[in-house]
């Protein structure tokens, strides 16, 4: 009985940590996890810098910026790169924040995100 009593608190602490360790990152809801290292890097960078505006934080919160997907800007990768690098009047440009390879990784990740349901 004493052995079980000491094991129980450990399990309460360790099991949630093991579950977190198995998830490589957080994809946009409704998407499959990235399939290669470039897409995984893109997902991480998206989560750090883009998610705050382009993903709805809660069901009751308003959406600040458009939802992004593989069809954003007509699906044109060059247009996506330019848009991310240079920004718009409402969105900062990230050319001084991200290296070109990192912008390419974000575009590679966005190409895995399906078009949102209407």
Alpha carbon distance 74, 88 (integer Å) = 17
Which of the residue ranges 32-36, 95-99, 112-116 would you say has the lowest mean pLDDT? 32-36
**pLDDT, the chain, mean:** 82
Is residue 57 within 8 Å of residue 28, measured between CB atoms? no
Which of the residue ranges 23-32, 44-53, 90-99 would you say has the lowest mean pLDDT? 23-32
Cα–Cα nearest to 69, from 83, 86, 52, 54: 54
Between 26 and 104, the more confident residue is: 104
- Write out pLDDT tens, residues 17-27: 444 433 445 56
- Write out pLDDT tens, residues 50-64: 999 999 888 888 888
Q: DSSP labels for 1-38?
A: -HHHHHHHHHHHHHHHHHHHHH----PPTT-PPPSSHH
- Give the domain 2-110 fold: Cytochrome Bc1 Complex; Chain D, domain 2 (1.10.760)
Angle at 51 (CA atoms; ends 109, 101), nearest 5 degrees: 40
DSSP run (H or E) holding 79: helix 77-86
Alpha carbon distance 59, 21 (integer Å) = 26
pTM above 0.75, yes or no: no
Which of the residue ranges 19-28, 36-45, 77-86 would you say has the lowest mean pLDDT? 19-28
Residue 76's SS3 state is coil
Mean pLDDT of 65-70: 94
């Amino acid at each position: 009985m004493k052995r079980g009593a000491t094991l129980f608190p450990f399990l309460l602490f360790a099991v949630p940590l093991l579950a977190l360790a198995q998830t490589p990152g957080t994809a946009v809801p409704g998407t499959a996890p990235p399939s290669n290292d470039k897409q995984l890097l893109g997902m991480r960078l998206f989560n750090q810098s883009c998610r705050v505006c382009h993903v709805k934080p809660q069901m009751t919160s308003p959406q600040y910026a458009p939802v992004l997907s593989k069809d954003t800007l007509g699906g044109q990768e060059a247009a996506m790169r330019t848009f991310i690098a240079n920004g718009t009047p409402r969105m900062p440009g990230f050319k001084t924040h991200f290296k070109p390879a990192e912008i390419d990784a974000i575009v590679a990740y966005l190409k895995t995100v399906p078009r949102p349901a209407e």
